[in-house]
Structure 1
Amino acid sequence: MFATPPPGTASPPSRRRRRGRSHRTVRAAAVAALLLASTAVPATASQGSGGGHCARITALRMPGAGHQEVSCLAELTTAGTIASGHTDQADWAGLTPSGLATPSGVPGIQIDGWFPDDSAGNTNHGWAHDSQFVVRLPDRWNGGLVVAGSPGVREQYANDRAISDWVLARGYAFAATDKGNAGAAFHRDGERPGDAIAEWNERVTQLTRAARAVVAQRYHRPPSRTLATGMSNGGYLVRWQLENHPELYDGGVDWEGNLWRAQGPNLLTFLPPALRGYPVYAAGGAGAEEAHRRMLAAGYPAGSEFLWPFHHRYYWDLTQRIYREEFDPHFDGATEAGTPFCAPGTPACDADYVYGERPREVTDAVERIALTGRIGKPLITLHGTLDVLLPIGQDSDVYARMVREEGRGKLMRYYRVEGGTHVDSLYDAFPDRLRPLTPCHRSAFTALEDWIGEGRAPAPSRTVPLPRAGEGDGRDLLHRCSLGG
C-alpha cells in the first residue's frame, strides 16, 4: 500500500541523491492569482453551454493550476471513466476487494490538471509532471466536497474505487491529489530530508482551497461542508489537515492513517524488527520461537502470522528503505534506498536500522511532519486489528491516546475493526479470516455526516467485532459494517 502495486515493483537504482525545489513552487502557486490554463476537452467528451448537463464548463478555472483539461462526462464513476480514459486502474489496483459493487449514473464534469512543480515522477496523461489533481463535479450535487490525498506513493486516481465512486453517487464533489511526488523514488523530491512528505501536506491544503473555489464557480455557491478522508498515507493527511488547517474542513475520516512521531513509534521503529525476525521465524528451527516473540513485541499482532509472508515479500522491505531514505539518506552512504532484502550484518542493511540510535537531524526531519493530536474538527478513525503494515498498537491506538492527552477526545471517535487488514484485496485471499474495511469506512463517513450535519454523536469508540458466519452482517461483509454498540 505504501508503494505502487507490489508485483513487479523494483527499487530505484543506486545514484547520487537528487532533490528539487518543489516547495518554492508550492508557495508561489499559493499566492498566484488565477492562472489562465488551457481547457482541452477529450474527443470522448462534449462541452456544455447554457443550463443543464455540464453548464458553464468553459468558465471553470482551478485557481493556481498551471494546466487543466475539463471534460463533460456521461459517467464520473469508474463504471464509465475506465472506458473513457479518465482514471488509471493501476493507481487503485489492490486496494479494494474484487466483489465491491461499482455505482453508476453520475454524469458531470471532470477537471484534470497540475499545479506548478519542478519534479516529474507522475506520468499520467503523458505530462511527466508532479502535483497532478483530479476534480469531479456531479450534475446532481448535494452541497458537499470531499478531498483526499493518495495512499502510499500512488497517484491521484488511487481513491477512485474505494472513495470517489461512492461519494460521487451520494452527490458530493470530489477532489484528489498525487501529493506532489509519487512512486518508489518519491524521496528524491525536495532539498532536505523530510521535504517530500512535507510537500504532501502543502499540496492537500492547496487542492482544498482550489477545489472549494471551483465548486463555487460550478454551482454558484461554496460547499456547505468540506470533508477530508483517505487511507494510510491519505489518513495521515487527514490527521495533519485537521490539526493544522481545521478552518478548511468540517470534519474527516481517517482510514488507518500512518503515524509519524519524532520520538516514535513510527514505521522506522517497527519495520526493521520485522525484517530481522521474519526470515528466522519462517525458517523454523531453534531460533523461530524467539523470532516470533520479537515480532509480537514489535507490534505485529498474534493471529496475523498468515499475513506475514505476503508483507515480507512485497511491503516491509521496500517501505522501510524508501521512507528511511526520505528521512535518513546518509545511513547507506551513496547508495540510494539501501540494499533489497539484505541479511542482518550486511553493511548499511536496513534490517539492522535502529531509529533511536540515529543522529539528531533524523528525528528533526521527522519532527517537521509529525502529528500532535491537536485536531480542531471532528475526526473518525478506523483501523483493522490485523494490520501488519501499520500495526494498530503502534499506530492508531497511539494516535487516539495523543488526541485524548491534548484534550481533544470529544472531537474523536476511534473504531478498532476486528479482522481488518491494511489492503482490502487480501480479503479475496482470506475471506474466512478477514473483513474488508471499505464498508466500515462508508459507515464512518455517514456517521460523520450525522455528527456534523445533525448533531447526532456517533457510537462511542470501541472494538467492532468480526461477526461469525451467519451472524448479523457477517453474511454480507462486502456491503455492511455496523460501528454501533
Structure 2
Amino acid sequence: MANSPFRVAAASAAPVLLLLLAACSTRGPHPTRETTPMFSAPRVTEHRNGDDLLTAGLGRDGLRAMLAPAFADPERPTSTELRRRALWQNWRGIADLAPGGGYGDLYGSTADVPGREFSALATVPGATHPHRVLAQVPDGFDVGKRCVVVTASSGSRGIYGAIAVAGAWGLPKGCAVAYTDKGAGTDYFDLDADQGARADGTTGPRGDGLAFAAQATAASGVAFKHAHSQDNPEADWGRHVQQAAQFALQSLGEAFPQAAPFTFDNTRVIAVGISNGGGAVLRAAELDGDWLDAVVAGEPNVYVVGEGSRALYDYTTEAALLMPCALLDAALAPLPQPPLAAQATPAWTQHCAALKAAGLVEGDSVAAQASFAHARLRSVGWTDAALRSGALSVGFDLWRAVAATYASAYGRYAAGAHPCGYVFSATNPDGSARVASAAERAAWWSDASGIPPGAGVGLVDATPAGSPPLTSLRCLRGLWSGSHADAQRVRRGIDETRAASPRAGLPVIVVHGLDDGLIPAAFSSAPYVAMAQGAGRDVRYWQVRNAQHFDAFLGLPDYAARYVPLLPYVYAALDRVKAHLDGAAALPASTVVDTTPRGAGKALDATHLALPR
C-alpha cells in the first residue's frame, strides 16, 4: 500500500553528518582539530569508610534491598543521600542482582573500592546545554599502568547509568572510570516551580548553577534534557564520550600531580557501553585521532547506511502501533509473562479493534487481526524471538514513551511544543496532569530513568476527547512515514545520528542478544558489523542466544527461566580486549554463543552461559 504508515520512509538526501573531533593528544603526529574542552561546575568528593565508589557502601546485599535508601528530609535530601540512592537505582535498573542470578558469584563485582569522584559539566561545540561528566579514581590506581575505562549511560539514564557495566569491571582492576550522561540524564526541570537539579543533584531555582534549565515557556509540567534541550544529543554521542575521556585525563592529573601529565599517549583508554551507551561508544570509535585503544559495545542502538538497518524511531513507532495486537497471535504463545499480565489480554484485544477501525489491520476476529499484525511485523524483519521478549516493553508502555521522547529530541522541539501534543507531568491517578510536589521534585535526580513514566512523572496524551482511535500513536508514526514539515524535521534529526565505520586499526567487539526485543540485533548490530567489516575494520561480533535486552528483569521468574544475562558476555569481551592489548592473547573470533536457559526455579551456573574461551 503506497500510503501505508508501515512503509519505511525514503532515506533523506541530506548527507550523513561526519563528526570530526580529535583527541587532545595522539600517539603519533596528528593535527588537533579542537582544543581541550573547558569544564564547568567542578566538584571533587571522597568516598571511603562505608561510602565507596562502586556501591556507596551498600554492597550487594544493600543493592538487593527492596526499598531505596531513605532521605532524612524527603523535601531536602543531601547530595550524599542522592548519590547513594542514584547508585541503588542504577544498579537495579541494569544488573540482575536477584539470588540465583549469578551476579557476584559467576560474574561481576560489587567490591568495596575507595577513591575520589571528580565531576563537572561539559558542552560539545554547537550545543546549548551541557552534559554531565564524572571520573571515578580509585585509591588503587596504578600510575605505572595507566588505564581509563570510558562509558556512556544506557538508555537515557543519569550519570551513574553505566555503573554496573564500566564501573563494575574497571574499578576493581584499578582503572579510572569516566562517565557521561551523553546529553540526556535525570536533570529534570519543573516548569511550574521553575526549578531543576544543581551540579550536586540537589534542587534549586533557575540561575542557581543548574545542570539543565529548560527554555522559559508558558508550558506546564516537566522538561528533561533528552527531550527538551533542543540539541538532538544523540547526534553528538561520540563527542560526549570523547569529552568524558578528556575529563578523566584532566582529573587524573589533579589526583596525581606528581605523575602528570596524563595523555592519550601514555594512558590506555577502553570504551564500553550497553544499549544507547553501546551506540555512543561506537560513535566515539569513528572519531578522528588515535585516542581509543579498544571498544566493547553491548546491544548497541546504532543506525547505519546498510541492508537491514532501521532507525530506532522507525521500529519503535511501528511496535507501538502493531505489537500489542500481534502478541495475541497464538503462533507466539507462550509469551513470557509481562507486567500486569491479567490486564494485558483485554487491553491488547481493544488495541486490535482500534487498529481494525483505523484500517491498519485486517480480519473480522481478534485472532485474524493478531495474525495480520504479526505477519506485518515479520515482513519487515522482526523475529518471533524479538517479539516475544518485546512483551515486556508493551507491558511497560515503553514503545510510546520512547517514541514521544525521541520525536521531541530529533525535531529539537521545546517543552510544550510536541508535534503530537504529548506533555510530561506529574499525574493524578486518572493520568491527568498536576503540579509536582517538593518531595517528588527532590527525588527526580536520583530516582528517574531519564525517560518518563517513572519517579512520579508521567506521559500525558493531550489528544482532544472524541478524537479517532490511536490518533497520537498514528501521529508519532507519521513523523517517520509522512512528508509534512514536522516529519521532515524529525527525519533530519534522525539522519544526524547515522554511524560510520570505526577508525582503522581499532579493535571492536560487538555483543548482542538474539532475543533482544527492544533493539533487535537484525536492525542494529548485524548491519553495523557488516558495514564495518566491509570497510576492512577489525570488528568481532558475539551473538548470544537466549539473551534479551534487560538483565534487570531477569528477577521476574518467567524471564529468569527463559533468558540468560548479557552482562557476563560484555565483561568477558572486556577481558579479551585487555588480554589482547597486554599482548597475552589474540582477539576472539566472531561467534554465535549457544547458551542454555536455566529453567524454572534453578540457579544460574557456568554451563548455562557457555562463555566464549
Same fold (TM over 0.5): yes
CA change 1:478–1:217 in 2 (3 A) is farther
TM-score, normalised to structure 1, is 0.75
CA RMSD of aligned residues (A): 3.6
1:186 to 226, 230, 244: 226
- Check the 8 A contact 1:106/1:169 in 2, yes or no: yes
CA change 1:415–1:246 in 2 (3 A) is farther
Residue aligned with 1:432, SS: helix
CA radius of gyration, larger in: 2
1:423 aligns with 2:515: no
Residue aligned with 1:105, SS: coil
Distance, in Å, in 1 between the alignment partners of 2:502 and 2:53 is 36
Task: Could you tell me which runs of 5 or more consecutive residues in structure 2 were left unpaired when the two chains were aligned.
Answer: 1-32, 64-68, 70-79, 187-223, 329-348, 350-365, 424-458
458-467 or 441-450, which moves further after superposition?
458-467
1:273 to partner: Cα distance:
2.4
Distance, in Å, in 2 between the alignment partners of 1:326 and 1:218 is 37
Q: Which digits, 9 at most, give the CA deviation of each residue in 1:316-341, with x for residues without a partner? A: 11112211222246896372479759
Query: In the alignment, which residue of structure 2 is the partner of 1:198?
Result: 235
- Check the 8 A contact 2:317/2:477 in 1, yes or no: yes
Q: How does 1:67-466 map to 2 (within 5 A)?
A: 67-74=41-48, 75-78=52-55, 80=57, 85=81, 86-87=83-84, 88=86, 89-99=88-98, 100-101=103-104, 102-115=109-122, 130-142=130-142, 143-183=146-186, 186-190=226-230, 195-219=232-256, 220-221=259-260, 222=262, 224-261=267-304, 264-281=309-326, 282=328, 283=349, 284-314=366-396, 315-328=398-411, 333=419, 335-336=421-422, 340=461, 346=471, 349-350=474-475, 352-353=477-478, 355-358=480-483, 361-376=489-504, 377-408=506-537, 411-429=538-556, 430-454=559-583, 456-466=585-595
Distance, in Å, in 2 between the alignment partners of 1:214 and 1:329 is 33
Q: Which has the higher contact order (CA 8 A, sep 6+)?
A: 2
CA change 1:152–1:469 in 2 (3 A) is closer
TM-score, normalised to structure 2, is 0.60
Distance, in Å, in 1 between the alignment partners of 2:519 and 2:367 is 28
Residue aligned with 1:213, SS: helix
Q: Which digits, 9 at most, give the CA deviation of each residue in 1:86-124, with x for residues without a partner? A: 441334442110232243232222223323699xx9xxx
Q: Which digits, 9 at most, give the CA deviation of each residue in 1:203-226, with x for residues without a partner? A: 222221121232244341535310
Structure 2 counterpart of 1:381, one-letter code: V
Query: In the alignment, which residue of structure 2 is the partner of 1:53?
Result: none
Structure 2 counterpart of 1:373, one-letter code: S
Distance, in Å, in 2 between the alignment partners of 1:407 and 1:97 is 36
Residue aligned with 1:97, SS: coil
231-240 or 130-139, which moves further after superposition?
130-139
Aligned residue pairs total: 413
Distance, in Å, in 2 between the alignment partners of 1:335 and 1:469 is 45
Residue aligned with 1:140, SS: coil
CA change 1:150–1:300 in 2 (3 A) is same
Q: How does 1:57-76 map to 2 (within 5 A)?
A: 64-74=38-48, 75-76=52-53
Structure 2 counterpart of 1:70, one-letter code: V
CA change 1:185–1:225 in 2 (3 A) is closer
Residue aligned with 1:236, SS: helix
CA change 1:420–1:350 in 2 (3 A) is farther
CA change 1:353–1:231 in 2 (3 A) is same
Query: In the alignment, which residue of structure 1 is the partner of 2:345?
Result: none
Aligned-pair identity (%)? 22
Distance, in Å, in 2 between the alignment partners of 1:292 and 1:144 is 48
1:68 to partner: Cα distance:
2.1
